């Protein structure tokens, strides 16, 4: 089997989080994907993907190889891509969740415009998944597993749900030693859609709900973070939400051993062999820049 083909299969498995979804994305049979994975594991002499009846997850060796595979594949695509004799110009449209868009995407798009000064940029920041075709989007940043496996995706990194609070609150209320302790402590959180207020934590291999009595509820992450900084309560936020406050000391991390499982972050574009030059350019730029961002984020907020 062609080695690039193998790397493409491994990348699809890690990105999709499922052998079946990887097969659908690659338009192959599940059996051929399973065989290819087994051949790679035999060739590298290491288990790359842990498989159970309920889920799959890359091993440390699998994660390292998948990261290297993405770099190799991106480099190959760049070499194979059709070159454009003229400078990029016109409108480039990108969507992302609001907080990520403001703090991470917008600065990178400014750098993109420094490289391509004749490009105009439109950023659509929304927590909803905006349709690429309906809004004539060139690229979208997606958090979580992709519902539409027909989109072309590039993995950027992973985030997690983490629990944080202000140093003053930790001093006054104490640092919880177990998620169940939060039931008796003040929290700030987003609205819940069903049942009662709760956060879910991985405990003894299970996804366990912890009932809460929130002191503040808001659908705006900036409101939640501000309340947490002022000591109104413990907050459970994405790792990138809290990165700056953890670095400054405005917030501290608690219950790190109960962070959520990794949640994939990807940049997606429409399928097709002949994407516009602007789409290829912005996807390449954001892929490289965001992978560096997520590598720094992993270093700043290590897994326990």
**167 and 139 part of one domain:** no
What pLDDT does 133 receive?
87
Is 85 among the domain residues? no
Tell me the three state secondary structure of residue 257. Answer: helix
Please report, for residues 61, 77, 149, 150, the alpha-carbon distance to residue 293 in angstroms, rounded to integers and kept in the order given: 22, 22, 25, 26
In 184-245, where do the E strands start and end? 187-189, 198-203, 206-211, 214-217, 234-238
What pLDDT does 290 receive?
94
pLDDT in tens, the chain (304 residues): 477 888 888 888 888 888 888 888 788 888 888 988 998 888 888 899 988 767 788 888 888 888 888 878 777 766 655 544 456 888 999 999 999 999 999 999 999 999 999 999 999 999 988 888 888 999 999 998 877 667 888 999 999 999 999 999 999 998 999 999 999 999 999 999 888 899 999 999 899 999 999 999 999 999 999 999 999 999 999 999 999 999 999 999 999 999 999 999 999 998 866 678 888 899 999 999 999 999 999 999 988 8
Chain-centroid distance of CA 173 in Å reads: 32
Tell me the three state secondary structure of residue 145. Answer: coil
**280 and 152 part of one domain:** yes
Please report, for residues 37, 51, 193, the alpha-carbon distance to residue 22 in angstroms, rounded to integers and kept in the order given: 11, 14, 31
What's this model's pTM, rounded to 2 decimal places? 0.71
Q: Shortest CA distance to 161 belongs to which of 271, 64, 237?
A: 237
Looking up residue 171, the CATH number of its domain turns out to be 3.40.190.290
Q: Rg (Cα) of the chain, in Å, rounded?
A: 21
- Both tokens assigned to 184: 């008796």
Q: In this structure, is the dihedral angle defined by the CA atoms of residues 31, 35, 37 and 38, taken in order, positive or negative?
A: positive
What pLDDT does 274 receive?
65
- CB distance 263 to 159 below 8 Å: yes
**Which segments of the chain does DSSP mark as H helices, in order?**
3-16, 19-26, 30-44, 60-80, 98-100, 106-115, 167-173, 221-229, 239-248, 277-300
Residue showing tokens 């350019």? 281
**280 and 149 part of one domain:** yes
**165 and 250 part of one domain:** yes
Q: How many domains does the chain have?
A: 3
**147 and 286 part of one domain:** yes
| Domain enclosing residue 225, as ranges | 161-258
Domain boundary among 80, 110, 140: 80
What pLDDT does 85 receive?
45
- Both tokens assigned to 192: 């819940």
Looking up residue 68, the CATH number of its domain turns out to be 1.10.10.10
Domain boundary among 80, 112, 139: 80
What pLDDT does 148 receive?
63
DSSP state letter for 89? -
Looking up residue 120, the CATH number of its domain turns out to be 3.40.190.10
Give the pairing type, strands 139-143 and 119-125. Answer: unpaired
């Amino acid at each position: 089997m062609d080695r690039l083909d193998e790397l493409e299969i491994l990348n699809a498995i890690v990105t999709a989080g499922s052998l079946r979804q990887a097969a659908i994305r690659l338009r192959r049979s599940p059996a051929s994907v399973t065989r290819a994975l087994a051949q790679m594991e035999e060739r590298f002499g290491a288990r790359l993907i842990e498989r159970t009846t309920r889920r799959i997850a890359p091993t440390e060796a699998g994660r390292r190889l998948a990261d290297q595979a993405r770099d190799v594949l991106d480099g190959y695509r760049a070499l194979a891509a059709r070159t454009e004799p003229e400078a990029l110009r016109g409108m480039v449209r990108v969507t992302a969740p609001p907080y990520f868009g403001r703090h991470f995407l917008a600065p990178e798009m400014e750098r993109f415009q420094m490289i391509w000064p004749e490009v105009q940029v439109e950023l659509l920041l929304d927590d909803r998944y905006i349709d690429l075709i309906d809004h004539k989007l060139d690229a979208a940043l997606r958090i979580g597993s992709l519902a539409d496996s027909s989109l072309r995706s590039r993995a950027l990194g992973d985030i997690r749900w983490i629990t944080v609070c202000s140093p003053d609150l930790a001093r006054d209320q104490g640092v919880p030693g177990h998620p169940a302790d939060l039931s008796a402590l003040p929290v700030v959180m987003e609205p819940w859609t069903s049942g009662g207020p709760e956060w879910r934590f991985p405990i003894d291999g299970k996804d366990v709900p912890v009932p809460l009595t929130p002191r503040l509820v808001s659908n705006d992450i900036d409101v939640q973070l501000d309340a947490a900084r002022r000591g109104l309560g413990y907050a459970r936020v994405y790792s990138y939400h809290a990165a700056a406050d953890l670095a400054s000391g405005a917030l501290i991390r608690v219950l790190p051993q109960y962070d959520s499982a990794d949640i994939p972050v990807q940049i997606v574009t429409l399928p097709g062999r002949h994407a516009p030059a602007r789409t290829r350019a912005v996807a390449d730029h954001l892929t490289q820049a965001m992978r560096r961002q997520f590598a720094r984020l992993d270093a700043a907020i290590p897994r326990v």
